[in-house]
Amino acid sequence: MSNTPSDDVVLLAHGSGGTLSRDLVSGTVLSHIGNPTLRRLDDSAVVEANGRIAFTTDSYIVDPIFFPGGDIGRLAVCGTVNDLSMVGARPLCISLALIIEEGFPTSHLDRIMESIHAACDESGVEIVTGDTKVVNRGKADKLFINTAGIGAIAQAIDVSGHNACPGDRILLSGTIADHGVAIMGSREGLSFSSEIESDCAPLNGLVSAVLEAGGNAVHAMRDPTRGGLASTLNEIAAQSGVSIRIEEGQIPVAPGVRGACEMLGMDPLYVANEGKLVAIVSPEVAPAVLEAMRGHRYGKSAIDVGEVAQGKPGRVTMRTLMGPTRLVPMLAGELLPRIC
């Protein structure tokens, strides 16, 4: 009978709003991520904010929920911290909403909550409000997580995908395609010659370094997640009404990741990242921003990969290693479902 309480798995009754919901929240959630604001358990958290704030949301449905280099919990915190950071905001607080499949092991929930706690600590944010729902077995796949976040934007900051200007340099914080290949590898049970790990990381520290070095000359930032670097650059080119030109020879791909992509027939330009960013900055600050990025743990391999040009609005082109220039369109169709 699924309504009998158990220490081992999540039951439908854990989503009832009654005593078992309270026990699950107190025992499994608050024990890992509790703080004075969250512990009040009112219908809304109350926080202080003044001026312009950033607000974002993402749901995480990654499969598998544990993968080399991270898990769905770390991904859910980092993804939202990064979305806030990409408009130049300092992340303040995050919400956490769980949709759990009946029968999900509470030991897994504990691991994920601990991972959420660690990612919050690393990025300096707190979970201040949340929600837990449980659906019948077979009506969801183990665990889906939604996080929303609020960040504070300093007065002078105006960073947006709409602000790229002809002449701007395109700076990439490191190797691409690590996350997607790690997920693909663990999902398919592939063994690569080297263990490939997701790059899943909170980028707010790196963004602080970028903004400190580049100030107002930082025009756009984005983390190339679903759809990869190619889709992100297409989005920015379209939003800003500019062309973008990149150099294939400049784009770093780890050798193991490159090999895996070749084996799997995937173009790394379209494979998701979860700990990388693209910063589009005025040419005069590009060297200083690049140096600042390289001084940060998540930007050691930062590199200038191309430029913004007048050209046809929305067009992204790449000068290939072989010499000729080719069009880099947005991802069409689906490469890897449930990558994040």
Min separation Cβ 57 and a copy of itself, Å: 4
- Give the residue with the Cβ less far from a copy of itself, 138 or 265: 138
Name the one range near a copy of itself by CB under 8 A: 66-74, 189-197, 287-295, 323-331.
323-331
Per-residue tokens: 47? 């926080």
Q: Is 286 in the site for a copy of itself (CB under 8 A)?
A: no
Min separation Cβ 161 and a copy of itself, Å: 5
Q: Which of 41, 190, 263, 321 binds a copy of itself (CB under 8 A)?
A: 41
Q: Which of 340, 321, 206 is nearest to 258 (CA)?
A: 321
3-state SS of 78-132 is HHHHHHHHCCCEEEEEEEEEEEEECCCEHHHHHHHHHHHHHHHHHHCCEEEEEEE
Identify residue 180 by its one-letter amino acid code: G
Whether the CB-CB separation of 167 and 282 falls below 8 Å is answered with yes
Q: Which of residues 157-176 bind a copy of itself (CB under 8 A)?
A: 160-162
Q: Is 198 in the site for a copy of itself (CB under 8 A)?
A: no
Min separation Cβ 153 and a copy of itself, Å: 6
Whether the CB-CB separation of 307 and 169 falls below 8 Å is answered with yes
Per-residue tokens: 38? 């969250």
Q: Is 45 in the site for a copy of itself (CB under 8 A)?
A: yes
Min separation Cβ 193 and a copy of itself, Å: 28
Min separation Cβ 200 and a copy of itself, Å: 16
Q: Is 24 in the site for a copy of itself (CB under 8 A)?
A: no
Min separation Cβ 236 and a copy of itself, Å: 10
Q: Which of 24, 25, 65, 93 binds a copy of itself (CB under 8 A)?
A: 93
Q: Which of 6, 26, 31, 55 binds a copy of itself (CB under 8 A)?
A: 55
Whether the CB-CB separation of 237 and 311 falls below 8 Å is answered with no
Q: Which of 25, 33, 99, 305 binds a copy of itself (CB under 8 A)?
A: 99
Whether the CB-CB separation of 165 and 217 falls below 8 Å is answered with no
Q: Are strands 316-319 and 325-327 parallel, antiparallel or unpaired?
A: antiparallel
Name the one range near a copy of itself by CB under 8 A: 25-33, 134-142, 182-190, 254-262.
134-142
Q: Which of residues 218-237 bind a copy of itself (CB under 8 A)?
A: 222-223, 225-228, 231, 235
Angle, CA 144 vertex, CA 123 and CA 5 arms, to 5°: 110
Q: Is 70 in the site for a copy of itself (CB under 8 A)?
A: no
Residue 304 φ then ψ, to 5°: -85, 120
- Give the residue with the Cβ less far from a copy of itself, 15 or 299: 15
Q: Which of 10, 11, 172, 210 binds a copy of itself (CB under 8 A)?
A: 11
At 208 the three-state DSSP class reads helix
Q: Is 17 in the site for a copy of itself (CB under 8 A)?
A: yes
Residue 144 φ then ψ, to 5°: -115, 145
Handedness of CA 56, 122, 67, 34 (dihedral sign): negative
Q: Which of 28, 73, 76, 95 binds a copy of itself (CB under 8 A)?
A: 95
- Rounded to whole angstroms, the Cα distance separating 26 from 28 reads 6
Q: Which of residues 253-282 bind a copy of itself (CB under 8 A)?
A: 270, 272
Whether the CB-CB separation of 279 and 338 falls below 8 Å is answered with no
Q: Which of residues 109-128 bind a copy of itself (CB under 8 A)?
A: 128
- Rounded to whole angstroms, the Cα distance separating 181 from 85 reads 24
Per-residue tokens: 154? 């300093």
